[in-house]
Structure 1
Amino acid sequence: MSTPSHTQTVDADKVSMAKKVIYGLGAFVNNLLGAAMATMAIVLNLGLGMNPALVGLLGALPRFIDAFTDPLMGYISDHTKSRWGRRRPYIFIGAILAGIVFVLLWQLPRDQSENFYFWFFLIGSIIFYLAYTIFATPWVALGYELTPDYHERTRIMAVQNFMGQFAWLLAPWFLLFMQNETLFSDMIEGAGWLAVIIGIFTVCIGILPAIFLAERFTPIPTSQKVPDSETQPKSVMASIADFFKGFAITVKFKPFLKLCGATFLVFNGFMMVSAFQSYVIIYYVFGGDQVLGAEYVGWAGTVSFIATSCSIFIVAKLSTLFGKRSAFFITIAISIFGYALKWVCFTPDNPQLVLIPPIFFAFGLGGLFTLMGSMVADVCDMDELETGERREGMFGSIFWWVVKLGLAAAMAAGGFLLNATGFDVALGGAQSADTLFYMRLADVLVPVLCSIIAIWLIAKYPITETLAQEVREKLELRRGKSVAEDDDFVDAEVNLSTI
């Protein structure tokens, strides 16, 4: 593989490490909430006795509402004008609301029917995800506009992905924490207290990007400026029409659709590992021993965290050397090898081998969110060249809706697949041989197939470094000045220039 020539990042386009880390703390909160919802859902099955298929539906149904609320929040953020900017007010308020609602959601009442628990959790989840969207959508959009540089975007995403991985370090240990008999009377009480801890953390840390980061406002291209009479506030009907027009333009943009498709597939495959793998480890490797199985689920998650953290900066270097698309191919191929290894390494004869596959399939998640965020930022530039508008909020909201849809699909598929294999929680470690075989097969085959299709999609992705640089030059020429020299920033509440 030849090394293409690439541009150097000028000082004006660089983002300080302090700002990258603060933006990355938003990723930690974002991932922690998503991982907690997926990991803690096992309480509904093992703690409350709900049917796994219903548990899966509880993860999937709110995504249908997100299909509307996420792009709507993106549109609102893109068109907000305030003294604090377009993104920061929503990040601040959303973090507080999401933390409070998350705590309340997991205070599960006792001795109720399965139907009660289903509707209680469904309604609570919808409210939670609305608050979550208010925080997450503007936070994502903020990251796309921190720099216009092709490579600096990847470095920002590498840091935020690294910071976000700490959520995946913690999440595999949630099950062990919730069923700690020394601290709690049962798993339900453990979930309630875990939610309190996560909620407080969300509020305290989630507001930091809103306080410390400045927003870059891209000036409207001079050729696109309109008369003052057309810049007045729009009517409700005009705003609705404008929203659907922008939504249609976004979802029709083919390079963006390829990124969304690949993200859905790779992340869905990973979440199948997270949601389905726990059952394989507990009931196949450890014969139904939930405590010992949960411990190894935690250790496997820790190994995955270490491997993913290391892979992130390897991916960033590969992207600089070979381009974002080639770096994606390499990392996903390594993850496919890791998924395939599970068939051999997940064995009751030698349980320690469970820790080997995560070393390799962790490259999938490490590469995905390091490269995809950076590539979406490139897409935003190309969209501006074609339409004259900046739609980071709309692009980011749809992209992350796809991520959440992948999470929901994994949860739903995990529940239905678990039923399809013949799994019965009442049998404990006495599951049939056929059930264990089909559980293992699904755990390996689904993420491998998803990853292969994702590689095929990105093979057709057109934006290279050369094309991205050409787009930037045309945008700067249209604006009449270099973005690298642009000082049109909103002042942050706290000056980080000296950090």
Structure 2
Amino acid sequence: MRKITALEKWSYAIGNIPYAVKDTAFGTFVVFYYTQVMGLSGTLAGLAMLIALSWDAISDPIVGSWSDAVRSRWGRRHPLILAGGVPTALCFLFLFNPPAGLTEFQIFLWLLVVSLVLRTLLTIYYIPFQAMGAEMSMDYDERTVIAKARITVAWLAGMALPTIAYSLIFRSDGSADGRLIAENYVLYGVMSTVLAAATALFCVWGTRSTIPHLPQADKQSLNLSLKKPLSDFFIAVANVNFRRTIGTKLAFGVCAGTYTALGLYLGTYFWEFSTQQMAGLVLPTLFGALTAFTILSGLGKRWGKPKLITFFCMAFGVNSIWFIGGRLLGLLPDNGHAILYPLMILTTYIQVFLIVSLQVMGASLLADILDEQELQTGFRQEGVFFAASAFVYKATTGFGNFAAGVTIDLAGLQPGAEPGTVPASVLDSLGWFMGLGVGSCCLIAWYCARRVRLGRAKAEAIRQQLAASA
């Protein structure tokens, strides 16, 4: 069994940075920028995200099925990764720089169209990228290592971007809050474009040596009709463990996306943290991701992937509720008290550890289910499986942004509001939605995860059967 090299592993991991750039943009800044700076209503901003996500539900399985069938001297994954990477990066220039003088509805259309184009190009890049990760190794534990490297690099990039943004780009000068200045977002778009394009190209270059060792498409020609993707999708969802795992990832993705999308609103208005304090959360984010990177392999060997995923889902729900719940129930002091920021650091550390752990174990488990699928059906469906997984990751920001947009409208948060001027009733509404919404989604994720039946012993037995029949 071939072991991947360090260059291949880390080049592949770095290829996840363009997706991290998208996640940071849409998960943290897009809704805030379009509502608080551009004056778009939260409902319209959320609706644009939901429409784009609905399009992903159509485009993702199509690209996944086509990716499985591509035949070229560069294999079936690299051509699409190359075709989607740089164009995706260029879209960030347009996302944060709409033309001046637009009406509210025109701003909505601009956000919608740019989001649709960006997410379509990202689909072309990211689905074959994810599928390639499952093909790089057949080893049970090495798959976790690959997923761990990919997700950890994305988290490191995902925390570096807002840290740089808060510290340098959105820095307040004393007269105005930098988070409310439109020109700052143009600079953020440029930074996002450069980073996404450079890392996508590096991924293609660094993983080119894996092409001869990756599974190739069969000799059937590429079928560009919609019938085959639909047929492939129904074959995939016939797998019980696949359905339950995707259900877990979708429910968790929604709660994580909501948590992230409302995070900037809560940090700015609910807790009234400064941009320097928001930037300082890079440290617990860093240590949370590194803790997951360090101990997950050992945890996976001892307890197995499904059991860990079940525990992490419940722990995420509890950690999402206690801090905000303490404020809403009057158990925590008023804003400005010295204890609040350390508590935010603690909950951020735990939350990042749990999110990274769930993402790593979910990706690794999906690779094991691919083996089960091959044994049951006789062919592999990396593209289709990871199209579903990619859609779930996109749902993290799509549903999260939609929920956040509707919430800020229902709560009555006004565009351009300065921290410290928002009525307590508005802030309480934001807090209750965060706690109850995220907690409910975590219960659904926990229920789905505990019904997955594919532990280490069964996964290894499946691989032995596949090896014997090869």
Which residue of the partner structure matches residue 20 of structure 1?
Answer: 9
Q: For 1:70-469, list aligned pairs within 5 A.
A: 70-173=60-163, 174=165, 177-180=168-171, 187-213=181-207, 214-215=210-211, 216-218=213-215, 231=219, 233=221, 239-286=225-272, 292-343=273-324, 344=326, 347-348=334-335, 349-350=337-338, 351-352=340-341, 353-425=343-415, 428=418, 429-469=420-460
Label 1:301 to 1:418 Cα distance change in 2 as closer, same or farther (>3 A). Answer: farther
Note the alpha carbon deviations across 1:221-251, whole angstroms, 9 max, x for none. Answer: xxxx9xxxxx553766xx5332221111113
Aligned residues: 452
**1:338 touches 1:359 (CA, 8 Å); kept in 2?**
no
Give the C-alpha shift of residue 471 in structure 1. 1.1
Question: What's the % identity of the aligned pairs?
Answer: 21
Query: Residue 233 of structure 1 aligns to which amino acid in structure 2?
Result: S
> Which stretches in structure 2 are left out of the alignment for 5+ residues?
none
Question: 2:36–2:416: 8 Å Cα contact kept in structure 1?
Answer: no
Taking the aligned partners of 1:377 and 1:242, their CA distance within structure 2 comes to 22
Letter in 2 for 1:32: V
| Corresponding residue number in structure 2 for 1:4 | none
How big is the shift at 1:262?
Answer: 1.1
* C-alpha distance in 1 between matches for 2:186 and 2:19: 20
Cα RMSD of the aligned pairs, angstroms, is: 2.4
Tell me how far 1:191 sits from its aligned partner. 1.3
Tell me, yes or no, if the aligned pair for 2:69 and 2:221 is still in contact at 8 Å.
no
Name which one, 1 or 2, has greater alpha-carbon Rg: 1
Cα separation, partners in 2 of 1:126 and 1:175, compared to 1, 3 Å = farther
Q: SS where residue 207 of structure 1 aligns?
A: helix
TM-score by length of 1: 0.85
- CA distance in structure 2 between the partners assigned to 1:471 and 1:464 by the alignment: 11
Contact 2:17–2:196 (Cα < 8 Å) also in 1: no
> Contact 1:337–1:361 (CA<8 Å) still a contact in 2?
no
Aligned to 1:30: 19
Shift in Å at residue 476 of structure 1? 1.5
Q: TM-score, normalised by structure 2?
A: 0.90
Per the TM alignment, residue 154 of structure 1 is displaced from its structure 2 partner at its CA by 0.7
For residues 82 and 427 of structure 1, the distance between their equivalents in structure 2, rounded to whole angstroms, comes to 54
CA 1:462–1:13: 2 relative to 1, 3 Å: farther
Q: Is the 8 A contact 2:18 2:89 kept in 1?
A: no
Structure 2 CA distance for aligned equivalents of residues 156 and 232 of structure 1 = 30
- Partner letter of residue 342 of structure 1? F
> 1:185-228, CA deviations, whole angstroms, 9 ceiling, x for partnerless residues?
973222112111211111111122222221334479xxxx9xxx
Q: Distance in 1 between matches of 2:103 and 2:40?
A: 9
